[in-house]
Structure 1
Amino acid sequence: MTLRAATLTAPVALPERTKTRVLDLVRRHGPQTAQDLAARLDVSIPAARRHLGDLLDQGLLEARVEKPGGRGRPQHVFALTERGEAAFPNTSSGLCADVLRHLRELFGQGAVLQVLDARNQALGEQIRAELAGAATLGERVEQLAVQLTALGFEATSHRDPSLHEDGAGGEVWYITQSHCPHLSVARQYQELCASELTLYSDLLGVAVTRESRMACGQGCCRYRVAALPT
């Protein structure tokens, strides 16, 4: 192993206890404001800001400006950097990335896609059984979010209250994932995100488009689910 490779894979030491809690909250719930974290930690906002400042200085968090739900007044939120994510090592993700890399090197890009397709088929059968009792699109979307959360994606669903129609009159829903258990792999293999998008569309039986993507540095993965009238 080269010195460079050892440096890249070396684990990041976790900071003191409260700061570790801050990092864990951001990891589990997605980008947070200082107010959000103060409430979750039961500390004052100035105390939360001090911890955030230290974590920013250590390169474990980054600050960005976002609009709540894509609308409203912009606010400062804090998200994990790659260094921050490395504080919570996921050996299975590292193994997965290595396997996909070797597949690509040995058998070409098509082999990677075949593996992901096979994974989706098995995962789809499992989730489809849970969606079987959902009669409406809204029920299917809500149940899919539940299943994704169980898989580690911290997913929520909602119908846009300001938009009840799409084009000629279809309903519109959103699924938001604030955590990705495969983020390090998704950054290296865009095919993983593309295959998940196809899976969601297949499970819901309607068009699904991705509006934001954590693997591209955005704060969450947000999917727009639109059903046009027949």
Structure 2
Amino acid sequence: MVNKMGARQKQLLKLLRGNRTGMSVDELSKGLEITRNAVRQHLASLEAAGLIAAGVTRPSGGGRPQQLYVLTELGQESFPRQYSWLAQLVVASVQREEGAENMRKRLNGIGAGIARQIRSQYPELTTQQEKVQKLAEVMDQLGYNARNATLPGGEAVIEADNCVFHQMAVKDLEICHLDKGLMETFTDTKVEQHECMASGGDLCRFRFLPKKE
């Protein structure tokens, strides 16, 4: 659906995707570098299509409260998730062959296998920082809308706000072990997830810790 829109509307939706609590007309105008009237026209069109909705209002320091706009579920699902359909087939196959008790181990192994194939394309990666930075790029290309971020103490993490397995993860968090296997194998680290969209978080945030000997 996103591919059929104009560039400005795509940018607007992407801004809202990265700000799950919502954005005001003024904030969207600044982010898109267009007039407030132009923003309102795009909002009206996207709201009519069911992709966005008016969210809560926010105090504006003595003036009229600011109306915030958010993505609807349809808006969230309009972004490409390039291999969620394949994962559904994989999960169904694992369940049939192994049963639920072995699901975690098998999904982790599948993710690790994917990581080894991708890592073979980047033999120049040596440090953990290089691997984490490249992993963020790879995940972004796969549709996660992933990016590198830094915690207050300086620790590098990856944040993603378009989980390709979101609908599956809401039903069963075991699917997240495919992602974990991919990330751990790609970076040669132990991955800890400190926020999860499927559990009500605003995004998915991953830390990368040294493996214990």
TM-score of the aligned structures, taking structure 1 as reference length: 0.62
1:190 shift after superposition: 0.9
TM-score of the aligned structures, taking structure 2 as reference length: 0.65
Residues 30 and 178 of structure 1 are in contact (CA less than 8 Å); yes or no, is this contact kept in structure 2? no
Residues 61 and 80 of structure 1 are in contact (CA less than 8 Å); yes or no, is this contact kept in structure 2? yes
- How large is the RMSD of aligned CA atoms in angstroms? 4.4
Q: Could you say which residue in structure 2 is the equivalent of 1:150?
A: 141
Distance 1:203 1:77 in 2: 38
Unpaired runs of 5+ in structure 2?
A: 58-66
Matched, 1:176 2:159: yes
Residues 197 and 204 of structure 2 are in contact (CA less than 8 Å); yes or no, is this contact kept in structure 1? yes
Residues 27 and 179 of structure 1 are in contact (CA less than 8 Å); yes or no, is this contact kept in structure 2? no
2:143 counterpart SS class: coil
1:145 shift after superposition: 0.9
Q: Could you say which residue in structure 1 is the equivalent of 2:64?
A: none
Q: Could you say which residue in structure 1 is the equivalent of 2:124?
A: 133
Distance 1:138 1:92 in 2: 26
Superposition pairs of residues 1-230 of structure 1, within 5 angstroms: 21=10, 24-26=13-15, 29=18, 31=20, 33-34=23-24, 35=26, 37-45=28-36, 48=39, 51=43, 55=47, 60-61=52-53, 63=55, 79-87=70-78, 93=84, 96-97=87-88, 100=91, 104=95, 108-110=99-101, 112-113=103-104, 116-160=107-151, 162-164=152-154, 172-227=155-210
> Aligned letter for 2:99?
G
Residues 112 and 186 of structure 2 are in contact (CA less than 8 Å); yes or no, is this contact kept in structure 1? no
Q: Could you say which residue in structure 1 is the equivalent of 2:60?
A: none
Distance 2:212 2:87 in 1: 40
1:179 shift after superposition: 1.8
1:103 shift after superposition: 5.6
Count of aligned pairs: 199
Over the matched positions of the two proteins, sequence identity in percent amounts to 21
